[in-house]
Amino acid sequence: MRIGVDLGGTNIAAGVVDDNNQIIGRASVKTNCPRPEGEIADSVAAVSRMAAEDAGIPYDEIKAIGIGTPGAVNNEGVVEFSSNLGFNDTPLLKLVEDRTGKKVYVENDANCAALGEQVAGSGNGVSNFVAVTLGTGIGGGVILGNKLLTGVNGAAGEIGHMVIEHDGLACPCGRIGCFEQYASATALVRQAKDALTRDREHMSKMWDLIDDNIDNVSGKTVFDAAHMDDEIALKVIDRFVEFLSCGIANLINIFQPDILCVGGGISAQGEYIIKPLVEKVEKKRYTKHSKAQTKICAATLGNDAGIIGAAILCK
Ligand SMILES: [Zn+2]
């Protein structure tokens, strides 16, 4: 029996994962950043015990713990840098092994989520798989020939920082025009606010949904208005999906995976996101004439992908 831990900036969530990649017990505690790395490792150990208890499994029967963490993780299980957790050359693998006596594996959290989706979710176990997660930023993971692409420093798969607009918006990473400045959930909200600011006559139905206060705009506002055939909301979504399709066509051109899944809350908007995305990528992909084509679909595991993927590291 294995435990997968999703170590996030807000919560540390652990799950006991069985041989069928099902979570059979779980627990969660607050991360309470900023804290010393040793204390965070204490919490990882504690939440693992709690998950085993929840599953009704003696802790001795847990053979290994897999951890998904923000930041780049090197071959020794050292998190070289994570701004979310305040980690700087943090030997997370060793810190948790010392506290649990278990074999520990550590990998980047987005890579764990990709592994989880590949093996137990929308990937159906195909050997070439790309996962794209639209959230505050854009996370990603690439699996080719059943092997997770980690790169020379563990930082491979940072697809959110692929530039799609050379003279575009500034990104905190230091570059201009990164994918996540245009196609993350955060970007959608910003684009909706921009559209409302230009809508001086208040023609959009979004105004009613936000009580005329632009600070209340969320991703849901845009989709709720789209359901009411609001033209401005539909235009915002169309432009957003245009940006999204640009980045995703790039990924497909480079990797040609069997399946590419799109996750994050807004990926559930199939009619407004996945369907037009497939149509737009169709026109952009280099391999228009190939018989075999990448299938694009929504992720299916939600937040559990990270826990299940972390447990898969232990196999
Ligand atoms: Zn960037």
pLDDT for the residue 298: 96
Q: Kindly state whether residues 179 and 81 are assigned to the same domain.
A: no
Nearest to 71 by CA among 81, 58, 61: 81
pLDDT for the residue 51: 98
Query: What is the total count of domains within the chain?
Result: 2
Q: Kindly state whether residues 224 and 254 are assigned to the same domain.
A: yes
C-alpha 292 – ligand 1 centre gap (Å): 32
Q: Kindly state whether residues 108 and 67 are assigned to the same domain.
A: yes
pLDDT for the residue 208: 97
Q: Kindly state whether residues 92 and 185 are assigned to the same domain.
A: no
Q: Kindly state whether residues 205 and 64 are assigned to the same domain.
A: no
Q: Kindly state whether residues 48 and 134 are assigned to the same domain.
A: no
Q: Give the pairing type, strands 87-90 and 79-82.
A: antiparallel
d(CA 266, CA 134): 7
C-alpha 156 – ligand 1 centre gap (Å): 14
pLDDT for the residue 270: 86
pLDDT for the residue 175: 96
Q: Kindly state whether residues 138 and 275 are assigned to the same domain.
A: yes
Q: Kindly state whether residues 160 and 235 are assigned to the same domain.
A: yes
CATH of the domain at 79: 3.30.420.40
C-alpha 177 – ligand 1 centre gap (Å): 7
d(CA 110, CA 121): 15
C-alpha 71 – ligand 1 centre gap (Å): 14
C-alpha 178 – ligand 1 centre gap (Å): 5
| pTM beyond 0.85, yes or no | yes
Q: Kindly state whether residues 190 and 251 are assigned to the same domain.
A: yes
Q: Kindly state whether residues 53 and 165 are assigned to the same domain.
A: no
C-alpha 103 – ligand 1 centre gap (Å): 34
d(CA 68, CA 235): 37
C-alpha 198 – ligand 1 centre gap (Å): 27
For the chain, 315 residues long, give each residue's pLDDT as a single digit of tens.
999 999 999 999 999 999 999 999 999 999 999 999 999 999 999 999 999 999 999 999 999 999 999 999 999 999 998 888 999 999 999 999 999 999 999 999 999 999 999 999 999 999 999 999 999 899 999 999 999 999 999 999 999 999 999 999 999 999 999 999 999 999 999 999 999 999 999 999 999 999 999 999 999 999 999 999 999 999 999 999 999 999 999 999 999 999 999 999 899 898 999 999 999 999 999 988 899 999 999 999 999 999 999 999 998
Q: Kindly state whether residues 156 and 12 are assigned to the same domain.
A: no
C-alpha 174 – ligand 1 centre gap (Å): 6
Cβ atoms of 20 and 43 closer than 8 Å: no
C-alpha 138 – ligand 1 centre gap (Å): 10
C-alpha 24 – ligand 1 centre gap (Å): 37
Q: Kindly state whether residues 42 and 80 are assigned to the same domain.
A: yes
Query: What is the residue range of 173's domain?
Result: 125-299
